[in-house]
């Protein structure tokens, strides 16, 4: 574009007059509602965008004035002002007054604009016709021209009234309130459209000011449609940092495509033809979709990414979480469809497809990591689609899941009123057998479930509920599954009690069941129908007295209680006497200390050395020193019996003490900075005085029985006293209990303790489950053992 | 008044809430159905204990 003269009076063709426009405005601008009103602004700004497409304009100002008039001003070449012979009027006046007049209608193909917005093809004359007033100002070739119109009719010919060094066109118009239902412009509506235009025309600056409210926006995107997809992803996490971008020319079509995936599931693909948002898509969009599906699949197959995928990746799968913009610019767009926003040019599909096949394939080859991420997402989408299909099949198998045929494994109860019925979900067949015999068959049903074990990798076994178990469970509940079929009124039991072993496997099955109920039958939890049984872990028998204890903690409580009965401890050479229950806290401190001590020893410090550290109250700080020499100094003072040598290596201390030969290195010293070590030193403070200087004398019922010289012996003495004459049985599983015991401890409604599952607990359990499903093994262990489920305590 | 329980959709992690949500605890029926399909497809397995190898690092406690 070197010659500005191309855009001159000669290239204007005149097609039609304006009379019809005021008679039937909707035919030209769609409607006379708000939409039609805003359409006026788009028509005007389109001319400015055309100038920028041609390379002559880089700034457009839009002002909404207080009286709802609008000024659009650009720094383009200015509308030509030469007199057109045919009309004996200035070119500008022709453009402003005759329908379909404008540079873009020169079909010689050599016209001012090869490509133009051609939004609706009606031109600015329509705006003029539908405005009560319009003021035109043109700065061109050093001069200023102006002209005023009323309802499209000029007051006078175009007049020259000054000189300027600037150039451009400025149009101010007052929409005719006799034509429009409303003349109130919406700032946000206009802004949204201008933002879009700024994206589609990289480098153009559009400023919009609302003088009614002093609102202001400025849009300018150097990145063009690349910035557009980044904007679409602004609230999402992108899968790859930079948008994928292609552009090129095929015959007359200029094609631009930008793609960026995010971690969501929405498909946001926007297509434009000559800056017009083709809401209904069309040939450019079809070409894009076909190329995306084909190229991605070709790449995936060639790179062996589909080897474990049994289902095909569809186009829909590949567009989950995509943000993409396709913008094409062509000389003669054909718009079809209900709202004339569907591109019809048939050759475009092939053009877009060819360009994208080439360039996307190249991109994927050059960016294998991005390719892998996108394809993994597509595969995930394909799996999800398959899962949803299976779920629909499951919910549609009417009858089979509604208790018409109850599963064979279910031992049902005699009672038919759900409010009175209970079902125990029991892990394993042997426990199921005990439960079946031990239950009260009038109102208690038993459903044995087995967790399938999956050997995932060496030395790791995963547990899952089989598809059959899930179906059995749904059938036994009788309430159906899925949005349309689940009916809580059909639930066959109002107490659903999960009864699993008190070990890790048991808690896995429990977690699986809880999660399933929470996700797929949440109403059961909401209505308080879900419970967890508490079978005992220990049976303690002393003479004829039998006692069931639910876990290690309660067993320890019991042992400490019985072990200190009638016991007195003489400490500090008889200066201090502790009796009976008062002894318990001291013993607990010892247990606590032992636990922390063992934890650190497990991390690789020999026990003797750890003891030296504790006695010397050695804290952290040595890890930061250049050598371990200061530590050696301190250790020698604490334990003169030992030899501490710093060998050639200043980071390694060799310790010899009696038979012990050990090494202290940097790693050992770093343990001193850990939280665990801090806890250990705190626990140590509580126990360091016990047996420190004098032995402790244990007497029972006033009779001296034993003298102990250290903490561990003290604890052992008390515990072995507690265990004397007792028979303690640890149940490895429910199956070890005979039916009577199971009834007595866990199923008898008069004695048992059930934990009722509340929604909040289930929410937490689900979060835990999500962690459990993941690969992080450590958090999993902690979760399941510490707080896999905090349930509300409820005596039933 | 009932406390609004906020949670993330178990499938897609979108923030959602328990109350007035027919697809609870999911954000949408789509996510719920995908989840159901995964149960049916036996995709949910709780990772089991890793059997620990006995710690045998002689360098730790003995000196050559």
Task: Give the pLDDT of residue B49.
Answer: 56
Highest mean pLDDT among A159-168, A430-439, A568-577, A620-629: A159-168
Identity of the residue in A462, A467, A766 whose CB atom sits nearest the CB atom of B47: A462
Confidence of residue A794 (pLDDT cuts 50, 70, 90): very low
Task: Give the pLDDT of residue A395.
Answer: 67
Q: pLDDT tens across A546-570, in order?
A: 888 888 888 899 999 988 888 888 8
Alpha helix positions (H), A662-733? 666-671, 675-687, 711-723
Closest CA to A744 of A539, A496, A507: A539
CB contact under 8 A, B47 and A520: no
Segment A63-73 shows an average pLDDT of: 95
User: Which of B29, B46, B53, B59 best probes binding to A when mutated, by most A CB atoms within 10 angstroms?
Assistant: B46
Task: Report the C-alpha gap between A385 and A678 in whole angstroms.
Answer: 51
DSSP character string of A714-776: HHHHHHHHHHTTEEEEE-SSGGGS-HHHHIIIII-TTT-EEEEPPHHHHHHHHHHHHHHHSS-
Phi, psi for residue A46 in degrees, rounded to 5: -60, -40
User: Which of A384, A486, A517 best probes binding to B when mutated, by most B CB atoms within 10 angstroms?
Assistant: A384
Q: pLDDT tens across A660-671, in order?
A: 888 887 778 888
Chain position carrying tokens 């399933």: A516
The yes-or-no verdict on residue A3 having pLDDT over 50 is no
Task: Give the pLDDT of residue A507.
Answer: 79
CB contact under 8 A, B33 and A388: yes
- B28 contacts on A by Cβ (under 8 Å): none
Confidence of residue A180 (pLDDT cuts 50, 70, 90): very high
Closest CA to A387 of B25, B10, B30: B30
Confidence of residue A791 (pLDDT cuts 50, 70, 90): very low
Task: Report the C-alpha gap between A612 and A330 in whole angstroms.
Answer: 84
List residues bridging with A328 in a β-sheet: A255, A273
The yes-or-no verdict on residue A186 having pLDDT over 70 is yes
Report the range of poorest mean pLDDT among A54-58, A187-191, A503-507, A746-750: A503-507
**Which domains are assigned to chain B?**
6-50 (3.30.50.10)
Answer whether A219's CB lies under 8 Å from A198's CB.
Answer: yes
Distance from CA of A773 to the nearest CA of B (A): 6
CB contact under 8 A, B37 and A391: yes
- B47 contacts on A by Cβ (under 8 Å): 456, 460, 462, 772-775, 777, 780
User: Which of A390, A454, A761, A769 best probes binding to B when mutated, by most B CB atoms within 10 angstroms?
Assistant: A390
Residues with Cβ within 8 Å of A252's Cβ and at least 6 positions away in sequence, in order, are A330, A331
List residues bridging with A173 in a β-sheet: A70, A134
Q: pLDDT tens across A90-99, in order?
A: 999 988 988 7
Tokens encoding B35:
């989840």
- B39 contacts on A by Cβ (under 8 Å): 465, 467, 470, 516, 520
- A466 contacts on B by Cβ (under 8 Å): 42
- A779 contacts on B by Cβ (under 8 Å): none
CB contact under 8 A, B39 and A470: yes
Task: Give the pLDDT of residue B59.
Answer: 37
CB contact under 8 A, B33 and A482: yes
Confidence of residue B61 (pLDDT cuts 50, 70, 90): very low
The yes-or-no verdict on residue A6 having pLDDT over 90 is no
Distance from CA of A411 to the nearest CA of B (A): 24
Identity of the residue in B24, B30, B50 whose CB atom sits nearest the CB atom of A522: B24
Confidence of residue A787 (pLDDT cuts 50, 70, 90): very low
Residues of A carrying an active site annotation? 427, 501, 503, 505
Task: Give the pLDDT of residue B47.
Answer: 65
Identity of the residue in A388, A656, A760 whose CB atom sits nearest the CB atom of B30: A388
The yes-or-no verdict on residue A630 having pLDDT over 50 is yes
Q: pLDDT tens across A105-147, in order?
A: 444 433 444 444 444 456 788 999 999 999 999 999 999 999 9
Confidence of residue A405 (pLDDT cuts 50, 70, 90): low
Q: pLDDT tens across B4-56, in order?
A: 888 888 888 888 988 899 999 999 888 888 888 888 888 887 766 554 443 33
Task: Report the C-alpha gap between A291 and A352 in whole angstroms.
Answer: 8
Q: pLDDT tens across A263-315, in order?
A: 888 899 999 998 889 999 999 999 999 999 999 999 999 998 888 777 789 99
- A463 contacts on B by Cβ (under 8 Å): 45-46, 48
Answer whether A781's CB lies under 8 Å from A773's CB.
Answer: no
Answer whether A719's CB lies under 8 Å from A591's CB.
Answer: no
Task: Report the C-alpha gap between A661 and B61 in whole angstroms.
Answer: 7
Task: Give the pLDDT of residue A120.
Answer: 46
Task: Give the pLDDT of residue A552.
Answer: 83
Q: Which residue has the higher pLDDT, A631 or A420?
A: A420
Identity of the residue in A516, A763, A769 whose CB atom sits nearest the CB atom of B5: A763
Residues 15-54 in B contacting A (C-alpha not used; CB under 8 Å) = 18, 22-26, 29-30, 32-51, 53
Q: pLDDT tens across A163-176, in order?
A: 999 999 999 999 99
Answer whether A756's CB lies under 8 Å from A530's CB.
Answer: yes
The chain-wide mean pLDDT, for chain A, equals: 84
Task: Give the pLDDT of residue A273.
Answer: 93
Q: pLDDT tens across A464-489, in order?
A: 888 888 888 988 898 888 877 788 99
Q: Report the predicted TM-score, pTM, of the whole model to 2 decimal places.
A: 0.59
Answer whether A132's CB lies under 8 Å from A177's CB.
Answer: yes
The yes-or-no verdict on residue A614 having pLDDT over 90 is no
> How many CB pairs below 8 A link A and B?
142
CB contact under 8 A, B12 and A661: no
Closest residue on chain B to A653 (Cα) = B63
CB contact under 8 A, B51 and A391: no
Query: Would you call B54 helix, strand, or coil by DSSP?
Result: coil
Identity of the residue in B25, B44, B50 whose CB atom sits nearest the CB atom of A522: B25
Distance from CA of A625 to the nearest CA of B (A): 22
Answer whether A425's CB lies under 8 Å from A497's CB.
Answer: yes
- A388 contacts on B by Cβ (under 8 Å): 30, 33-34, 37
The yes-or-no verdict on residue A424 having pLDDT over 90 is yes
Residues with Cβ within 8 Å of A452's Cβ and at least 6 positions away in sequence, in order, are A463, A464, A465, A466, A469, B42
Q: pLDDT tens across A426-452, in order?
A: 987 778 888 999 999 999 999 998 777
Q: pLDDT tens across A692-723, in order?
A: 778 888 888 888 888 888 888 988 999 888 88
Q: How far apart are the first and last CA of chain B?
A: 71
Q: Which residues of A are annotated as a binding site for Mg(2+)?
A: 427, 501, 503
Distance from CA of B15 to the nearest CA of A (A): 12
Q: How many CB atoms lie within 10 A of CB A370?
A: 17
The yes-or-no verdict on residue A780 having pLDDT over 70 is no
Distance from CA of B3 to the nearest CA of A (A): 11
Identity of the residue in A264, A453, A467 whose CB atom sits nearest the CB atom of B40: A467
Closest CA to A474 of A513, A439, A438: A513
Task: Give the pLDDT of residue A402.
Answer: 54
- Residue A420 carries which DSSP code? G
How buried is A381 (Cβ within 10 angstroms: 0-12 exposed, 13-18 middle, 19+ buried)?
Answer: buried
CB contact under 8 A, B18 and A763: yes
- B48 contacts on A by Cβ (under 8 Å): 453, 456, 460-463, 505, 508
Closest CA to A420 of A492, A475, A366: A492
User: Which of A263, A311, A391 best probes binding to B when mutated, by most B CB atoms within 10 angstroms?
Assistant: A391
Confidence of residue A519 (pLDDT cuts 50, 70, 90): very high
In a 13 Å sphere around the CA of A394, the CA atoms on its Cβ side amount to 28
Closest residue on chain A to B23 (Cα) = A483
Segment A206-225 shows an average pLDDT of: 95
Task: Report the C-alpha gap between A707 and A698 in whole angstroms.
Answer: 6
Distance from CA of A508 to the nearest CA of B (A): 6
Identity of the residue in B36, B42, B55 whose CB atom sits nearest the CB atom of A464: B42
Report the range of poorest mean pLDDT among A129-138, A316-325, A392-401, A553-562: A392-401
Segment A574-591 shows an average pLDDT of: 88
Closest residue on chain B to A604 (Cα) = B60
- A462 contacts on B by Cβ (under 8 Å): 45-48
Distance from CA of B26 to the nearest CA of A (A): 7
User: Which of B10, B48, B60 best probes binding to A when mutated, by most A CB atoms within 10 angstroms?
Assistant: B48
Closest CA to A625 of A659, A653, A589: A653
- A505 contacts on B by Cβ (under 8 Å): 48
Task: Give the pLDDT of residue A341.
Answer: 86
Tokens encoding A205:
């600056």
Task: Give the pLDDT of residue A107.
Answer: 42
Task: Give the pLDDT of residue A300.
Answer: 92
Segment A588-612 shows an average pLDDT of: 87
Distance from CA of B33 to the nearest CA of A (A): 5
Identity of the residue in B42, B46, B49 whose CB atom sits nearest the CB atom of A466: B42
Answer whether A134's CB lies under 8 Å from A125's CB.
Answer: no
Task: Give the pLDDT of residue B52.
Answer: 43
Q: How many CB atoms lie within 10 A of CB A416?
A: 9
In SS3 terms, A284-323 reads as HHHHHHHHHHHHHHHHHHHCCCCCCCCCCCCHHHHCCCEE
């Amino acid at each position: 574009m070197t010659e500005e003269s191309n855009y001159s009076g000669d290239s204007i063709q005149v097609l039609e007059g304006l009379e019809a426009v005021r008679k039937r405005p909707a035919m030209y601008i769609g409607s006379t509602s708000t939409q039609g009103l805003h359409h006026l602004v788009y028509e005007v700004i389109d001319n400015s965008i055309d100038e920028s497409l041609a390379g002559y304009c880089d700034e457009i100002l839009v002002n909404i004035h207080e009286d709802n008039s609008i000024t659009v001003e650009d720094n383009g070449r200015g509308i030509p002002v030469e007199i057109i012979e045919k009309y004996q009027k200035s070119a500008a006046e022709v453009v402003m007054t005759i329908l379909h007049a404008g540079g873009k209608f020169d079909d010689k193909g050599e016209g001012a604009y090869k490509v133009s917005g051609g939004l609706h093809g009606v031109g600015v004359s329509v705006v003029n016709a539908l405005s009560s007033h319009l003021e035109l100002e043109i700065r061109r070739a050093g001069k200023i021209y102006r002209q005023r119109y009323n309802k499209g009719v000029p007051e006078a010919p175009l007049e020259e009234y000054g000189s300027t060094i600037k150039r451009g066109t400025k149009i101010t118009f007052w929409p005719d309130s006799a034509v429009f239902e409303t003349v109130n412009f919406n700032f946000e509506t206009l802004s949204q459209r201008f933002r879009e235009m700024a994206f589609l025309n990289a480098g153009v600056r559009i400023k919009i000011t609302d003088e009614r409210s002093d609102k202001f926006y400025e849009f300018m995107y150097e990145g063009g449609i690349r910035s557009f997809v980044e904007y679409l992803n602004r609230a999402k996490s992108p899968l790859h940092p930079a948008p994928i971008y292609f552009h090129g020319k095929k015959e007359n079509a200029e094609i631009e495509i930008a793609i960026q995936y995010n971690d969501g599931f929405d498909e946001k693909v926007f297509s434009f033809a000559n800056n017009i948002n083709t809401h209904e898509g069309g040939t450019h969009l079809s070409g894009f979709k076909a190329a995306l599906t084909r190229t991605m699949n070709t790449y995936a197959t060639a790179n062996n990414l589909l080897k474990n995928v049994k289902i095909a990746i569809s186009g829909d799968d590949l567009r989950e979480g995509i943000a993409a913009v396709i913008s094409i610019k062509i000389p003669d767009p054909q718009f079809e469809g209900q709202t004339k926003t569907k591109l019809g040019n048939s050759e475009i599909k092939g053009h877009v497809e060819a360009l994208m096949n080439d360039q996307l394939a190249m991109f994927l080859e050059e960016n294998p990591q991005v390719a892998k991420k996108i394809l993994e997402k597509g595969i995930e989408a394909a799996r999800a689609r398959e899962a949803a299909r299976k779920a629909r099949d499951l919910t549609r198998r009417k009858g089979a899941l509604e208790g018409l045929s109850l599963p064979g494994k279910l031992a049902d109860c005699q009672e038919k009123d759900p409010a009175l019925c209970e079902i125990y979900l029991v892990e394993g067949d042997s426990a199921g057998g005990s439960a079946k015999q031990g239950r009260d068959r009038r109102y208690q049903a038993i459903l044995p479930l087995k967790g399938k074990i999956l050997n995932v990798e060496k030395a790791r076994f995963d547990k899952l509920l089989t598809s059959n178990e899930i179906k059995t469970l749904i059938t036994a509940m009788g309430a159906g599954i899925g949005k349309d079929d689940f009916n809580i009124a059909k639930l066959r039991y109002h107490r659903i009690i999960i009864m699993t072993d008190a070990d890790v496997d048991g808690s896995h099955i429990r977690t699986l069941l809880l999660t399933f109920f929470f996700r797929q039958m949440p109403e059961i939890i909401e209505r308080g129908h879900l419970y967890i049984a508490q079978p005992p872990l220990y049976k303690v028998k002393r003479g004829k007295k039998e006692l069931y204890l639910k876990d290690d903690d309660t067993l320890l409580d019991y042992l400490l209680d019985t072990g200190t009965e009638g016991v007195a401890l003489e400490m500090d050479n008889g200066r201090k006497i502790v009796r009976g229950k008062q002894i318990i806290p001291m013993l607990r401190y010892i247990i606590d200390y032992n636990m922390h001590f063992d934890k650190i020893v497990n991390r690789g410090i020999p026990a003797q050395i750890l003891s030296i550290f504790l006695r010397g109250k050695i804290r952290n700080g040595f890890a930061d020193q250049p050598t371990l020499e200061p530590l050696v100094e301190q250790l020698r003072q604490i334990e003169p019996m030992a030899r501490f040598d710093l060998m050639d290596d200043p980071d390694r201390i060799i310790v010899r003490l009696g038979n012990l030969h050990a090494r202290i290195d940097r790693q050992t010293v770093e343990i001193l900075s850990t939280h665990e070590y801090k806890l250990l030193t705190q626990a140590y403070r509580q126990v360091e005085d016990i047996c420190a200087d004098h032995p402790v004398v244990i007497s029972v019922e006033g009779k001296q029985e034993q003298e102990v010289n250290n903490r561990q012996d003290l604890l052992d003495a008390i515990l072995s006293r507690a265990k004397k004459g007792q028979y303690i049985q640890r149940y490895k599983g429910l199956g070890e209990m005979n039916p009577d015991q199971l009834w007595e401890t866990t199923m008898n409604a008069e004695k048992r303790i059930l934990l009722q599952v509340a929604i909040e607990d289930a929410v937490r359990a689900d979060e835990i489950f999500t962690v459990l499903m993941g690969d992080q093994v450590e958090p999993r262990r902690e979760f399941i053992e510490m707080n896999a489920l905090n349930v509300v305590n409820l005596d039933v | 008044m009932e406390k609004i329980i906020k949670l993330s959709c178990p499938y897609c992690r979108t923030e959602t809430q328990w109350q007035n949500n027919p697809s609870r605890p999911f954000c949408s029926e789509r996510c719920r159905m995908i989840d159901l399909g995964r149960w049916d497809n036996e995709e949910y397995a709780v990772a089991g204990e890793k059997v620990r190898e006995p710690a045998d690092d002689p360098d730790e406690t003995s000196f050559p």
